[in-house]
Homo-oligomer: A and B are copies of this chain.
Amino acid sequence: MLRVPDGRVVASTDVLVEGRHFRRNWSSPADVGVKAAAQNLADIAAMGALPRTLLVGLACPSDLAVGWVLDMIAGLVAECGRAGASIAGGDVTSADCIVLGITALGELAGARPVTRAGARAGDVVALAGHAGWSAAGLALLQAGTAGPGELAGDIGALVRAHRRPEPPYAAGPAAAAAGATAMLDVSDGLVADLGHIAAASGVCVRVETAGLPDCEPLQAAARTLGVAWQDWALAGGEDHALAATFPPLAALPDGWRIIGDVREGEGVLVNGERWNGRGGWEHFR
């Protein structure tokens, strides 16, 4: 039983499938647990709520090593600890592949819930956390540039960001308290997710790539692979950074950096133009 003294609970659920959302040869079981927890707990923070409880459903082959499951659960527990939540229960069954069904619950603790629909022309757009690091890390793994084990420098930081995203949980409730008008966590890619705010709010969201924070590691990795770093920053998903809009005179909480603004209109403009990149993570492609 979860106690929510203000009588309001928010919830989020996600399904992770082996081979699609993680690969056992690229991620340790603890990494898988961390990532599974992080993506749901970030959803809760993005509503301006405090993550409190995780429910875990696991379907896996009956010959999966128990050690793998225990290490994965250790990852779930570790990430819950980072977010201030705990695991309340779950369900285990057998299947041909590993599937995780994770549900996170949170409490608003008196705050109003922040949705995607409140952005207004004149607001600023801000980001807390990294954009594109996870996608860059995945690209490095796919290119064979990075193998298993610990890695140093920028490449190491990007691969770690892919294996273990670090959502800035506290930035969510702080943004709500500072008056954020719309918020979400960047799971599909920055442009795609800002597009969700634009559509839900009936506005145009403008982003300037010059304002994107922490791009040096992306630029270094892009030079190595001969690609454009902006593709990762604008279309890379699964970092679970938080993106929000704030009234123009709001004092941004710690960790938030302005990356654009909101105008009348529709859709997302990057450096003043419709962006023709990949457009973010799409299911069923």
Contacts and interface: CB of A to CB of B under 8 A. Distances in A.
A150 interface: no
Nearest to A103: B103
Taking chain A's interface residues, is the majority helix, strand, or loop, or is none over half, making it mixed? strand
Query: How many subunits of this chain does the assembly comprise?
Result: 2
Contacts of A89: 11-13
B92 A283 contact: yes
Kindly state the interface size class of chain A when it binds its partner.
35 or more
A105 interface: yes
A95 interface: yes
Given A94-B20, A101-B99, A59 B4 contact: no
Given A1-B108, A4-B8, A11-B55, A17 B103 contact: no
Interface of A: 1-17, 19-21, 47, 53, 55-59, 62, 88-97, 99-103, 105, 108, 113, 283-284
23 contacts: A1-B8, A1-B108, A2-B9, A7-B7, A9-B9, A13-B90, A13-B91, A14-B57, A15-B58, A15-B59, A15-B101, A16-B93, A17-B59, A20-B93, A20-B94, A20-B95, A21-B93, A92-B283, A95-B97, A96-B96, A101-B102, A101-B103, A105-B105
